[in-house]
Structure 1
Amino acid sequence: MMKAMELARFTVDPQDVEAMLAARPAMVTALRERFSGFESLRLVRLDERTWLDVVIWASRAQADEAAATVGDMPECRAAFAYIKEVVSMEHAEVVFAGDRAA
């Protein structure tokens, strides 16, 4: 079974960055507890306002299931509250990885 990668590009106002970052650990804990296919999340800052979540899931089906329900989770809603705009959201299959996590 191929792993899946979720790429979510979004913007956050600079004055909300600290609060957004503070909400992230609870969100990750909730994702781990609710979804057995959740493997990792990396938050990448692209510029002062633009961020990218890179999430690895055990499979595309698990990524799709999570995408359909994370908005119902209070910890995720709390972290997402600081997002000003979702620029893009994509899911893809990982076909090659040069690390041990793949």
Structure 2
Amino acid sequence: MTAIELARFTVDPDDVDAMLDARPAMLRALRERFDGFEALHLVRLDERTWLDVVRWASRAQADEAAATVVELPECRAAFAYIKEVVAMEHGEVLFAGDRAS
């Protein structure tokens, strides 16, 4: 069953461009390392607060990634701009709608 990871975090406004520049390498690393990785969306909530919405093929794959993602240098580089992790949650998707539905 598909899983969603929600990571709410803060970034200093002076670091936003550098954080955004680090994201493509992080995305490539996630695709290469984790078979269950499906999608990554970065959402700006306000000047300092951001939300990563990550879709995984299963909850087990999301949990495995959460435990090992900091081992990837590209992810560590992107995470270096995070000032505070406000919340980190994982959940299973029970209903989803898209344009094809």
TM-score (norm 2): 0.97
- Between the aligned partners of 2:45 and 2:4, the Cα distance in structure 1 is 18
Q: What is the match of residue 26 of structure 1?
A: 25
Q: What is the match of residue 54 of structure 1?
A: 53
For residue 31 of structure 1, give the secondary structure of its aligned residue in structure 2: helix
Per-residue displacement from partner, 1:39-75 (whole Å, max 9, x unpaired)? 0000000000000000000000000000000011100
For residue 6 of structure 1, give the secondary structure of its aligned residue in structure 2: strand
Q: What is the match of residue 87 of structure 2?
A: 88
State the number of aligned residues: 100
1:3-22 superposed matches below 5 A: 3-22=2-21
The runs of at least 4 aligned residues of structure 1 exceeding 4 Å deviation read none
- Between the aligned partners of 2:31 and 2:70, the Cα distance in structure 1 is 15
Per-residue displacement from partner, 1:55-101 (whole Å, max 9, x unpaired)? 00000000000000001110000000000000000000001110269
- Between the aligned partners of 2:84 and 2:37, the Cα distance in structure 1 is 24
For residue 22 of structure 1, give the secondary structure of its aligned residue in structure 2: helix
Amino acid at match of 1:40: A
For residue 66 of structure 2, give the secondary structure of its aligned residue in structure 1: helix
- Between the aligned partners of 2:94 and 2:40, the Cα distance in structure 1 is 18
